[in-house]
Structure 1
Amino acid sequence: MSGFRSSGKTNRGCAMKLYGREWSRRELEARVGRIEQIAGIRRWVAAEGREAGVEQLHVRTGAGLSYWVTPTKGLDIAMADYCGVPISWQSCNGDVHPRYYEAQGDGWLRTASGGLLMTCGMMQVGSACEDEGEPLGLHGRAHHTPARQVTAASNWDGEEMEMRITGIVEEASLFGGYLRLTRRISSFLGQNSIRIEDEVRNMGFRRCPHMMLYHFNFGFPLMDENTAIRFPAANVRAREPQTPVDGYDTWQVPDPDYQERVYLHAGVTDPAVRIVNRNFPLPDGGRQVEAVLRWSADTLPNLLQWKMPGAGMHVLGIEPANCGVAGRAMERKRGTLVFLEPGETVNYRLELNLA
């Protein structure tokens, strides 16, 4: 897809890099009782509080990257860490079950989990509003919709083992729209990367509004006062006119008085954001770690940034989108609202790499 350059190369027929050397599949299998000793997927279900009943799939790549996919919440990605050290942000709500979701107004904020990825959409993104008589809550329903037909498997193809999770998330209503998201999340043994491939299809017989925003959340200790944020060349402006643009690409110590800032990066042609921590606290000592997020710019042409280094929050949001965050009514008024025709599909691709 235009603008998307995956860095993941397959290793079919070749040895894989792990623990500082090259290994064949049989060399690894000879050294373990089962491959999950090194890498794989395990299912878990939370047992207490407002998280009770939330299913998660824990993925370990064997190269240091570990993350939790949550079928109960739209196959979004909860916590992620590198060599046991967090790279993502967790909200104060925790991985609360969507049974507690309040769809009206800003109720989304009471059950948003944070984590590495929250999907916003599929028919509404941004501020709560009323569009053609329909009340729409903040950021839509995707993050609070359980997936179905969920599969999770580790499969070998030659010398390469892929860990893949797939499932379907639907948003539908009688006499309203009907959108189906088919998601695939994959990683490979020995590689510190996550690939997300989504297809959204209009299953109905009328054209349907479609808004999509991928809310990636990076937190401490990846984010500290020495972290550098490198954005692609773009025209950067703040959502609120009184918000200064200076400092959008820097970080700081927590400030209890800090007010969130949202920046719009327009005209991105090289869709990649790099977050560089030169002294990331790994168990064997600090060294440079770089997180690189790439996406398909042809279907996600907009980049939004949520900067919130406030005390008790301390999160950087990187948000590729096909829309803005003023809500569906404003998108319609501006003439920028995206529609899917009956049977039409659109594909989104994103990839996070750690090095």
Structure 2
Amino acid sequence: MKAFVAGRGPKLFLDETSVLDIGSCIVNGIDVAPGRAIPDDGDPRIDHSLEGFLFTCGPDHIRHPQAIKGDASGRKYPLHGSYSGNPAEILFWDAQGETAECKARVTVKTAEGGIALLERHVRMDGESGETCLIDRVSNVGSTPFARVHMYHMNIGAWLFDGDVRLSGQMLEGGGFPWNFGEEPGGVFCVPAAVAGEEWAQVMLGPIAALGGVTLKVRFRTDTLPHLQVWRNQRAPAHVLGIEPVSHRWVSREDLAASGELQMLKPGESVDYALRFSFS
């Protein structure tokens, strides 16, 4: 992994072996990534990705495996899609000044035999400490695939005390404690778009263990219109995930039946974007 940092920003380690996702994320000397405090879903690709601070889900499938319709052998879409485990080709890297910047591309073979090209641009503003992740996904093959995408931002929940809260306009009452729901964890998914706003924001904090900072996450809602949040405190897991996502938390069949599961046809592209900072 390559270190990526500028000015006030956290020290990120970008994973060239897996989509240039973020492994360790060092804030005030502490790695906030969950490491091995994660559930084991039986897929080494995803175990590796879940250990880090951010990994990308898609481009053909999100969430847990489901059967590939019409496949005579009974194959399923892979857990969280086909991105994880695909190496990134670095096109540009400058992380020496007050602004760090990186551009890369990743070629991905989808579960149904299509070919996706992910063009990733990561930029960190040293003055504000904000990191911006911009992705363009293009269908460069001859087979359509589902236009689905999710960012998993995973934080080690051992860092949280009782004062840490989730807050955002999309949340009931504007927010609630991080350990929502019943023990040892749970998940919810809500619409995130606000009329007249291009970006949604969710915050997690203050985190006393990190010097009282709050994690602020913003994301484009035209292509990521929902926010999913999950937590898992079933030992050895101790993790909370903030997950901007393209679709509701229902099956592919339900999404298709409601007309929500759009396909990315050969030659088409779609853009996604995420920003985060600790302040």
Q: Give 1:274 shift.
A: 0.7
* 8 Å Cα contact 1:153-1:164 kept in structure 2: yes
Q: Equivalent residue for 2:208?
A: 279
Residue aligned with 1:312, SS: coil
Give the structure 2 partner of residue 295 of structure 1. Answer: 219
**Offset, 1:325:** 4.4
Taking every aligned residue pair, what percent have the same amino acid on both sides?
A: 23
CA contact (8 A) 1:221 1:280 kept: no
What does residue 226 of structure 1 align with? 163
Take 1:309 and 1:120, find their aligned partners in 2: how far apart are those partners? 22
Aligned equivalents of 2:200 and 2:89: distance in 1?
Answer: 31
Q: 2:189 pairs with 261, 264, 271, which one?
A: 264
SS state of the match for residue 331, structure 1? Answer: helix
Gaps of 5+ in 1: 1-55, 94-104, 237-245, 283-287
| Equivalent-residue separation in structure 2 for 1:265 and 1:64 (angstroms) | 29
Q: 1:145 to 1:325 in 2, by over 3 A?
A: farther
Q: CA deviation at 1:213?
A: 0.6
Residues 217 and 316 in structure 1, CA contact (< 8 A), matched pair in contact too: yes
Counterpart contact for 1:292–1:352, Cα < 8 Å: yes
- Matches of 1:175 and 1:310 in 2, distance apart? 34
Quick one: distance in 2 between partners of 1:336 and 1:131? Answer: 17
**Alignment partner, residue 84 of structure 2:** 143
RMSD after superposition: 3.0
**Aligned twin of 1:251:** 178
* Secondary structure class of the residue paired with 1:135: coil
CA contact under 8 A between 2:90 and 2:102: conserved in structure 1? no
Which string of whole-angstrom CA distances, capped at 9 and with x for unpartnered residues, describes residues 169-210 of structure 1? 122269732211100111133432111010011112443222
State the partner residue of 1:79: 24
Residues 111 and 280 (structure 1), Cα distance of their counterparts in 2 relative to 1, 3 Å cut: closer
Q: How far apart, CA to CA, are the structure 2 residues paired with 1:63 and 1:80? A: 13
TM-score (norm 2): 0.84
What do residues 241-299 of structure 1 show as CA deviations (whole Å, max 9, x unaligned)? xxxxx9x831359xxx93431101125316111112263444xxxxx311100000011
Uncovered stretches (5+) of structure 2, i.e. residues with no partner: none
Change (3 A) 1:170 1:192: same
- Superposition pairs for residues 1-355 of structure 1, below 5 Å? 56-63=1-8, 65-92=10-37, 107=43, 109-132=46-69, 133=71, 134-154=75-95, 161-172=98-109, 176-220=113-157, 222-234=159-171, 249-252=176-179, 258-269=183-194, 271-277=200-206, 279-282=208-211, 288-355=212-279
Q: Which amino acid aligns with 1:63?
A: R
Q: Scaled by the length of structure 1, what TM-score is found?
A: 0.67
Q: Is contact 1:64-1:83 (8 Å) kept?
A: no
Distance 2:236 2:55 in 1: 19
The answer to whether the 8 A contact 1:130-1:329 is kept is: no
Work out the number of aligned pairs and report it: 268
CA contact (8 A) 2:46 2:84 kept: no
Q: Using the alignment, how far apart are the partners of 1:267 and 1:293 within structure 2?
A: 12
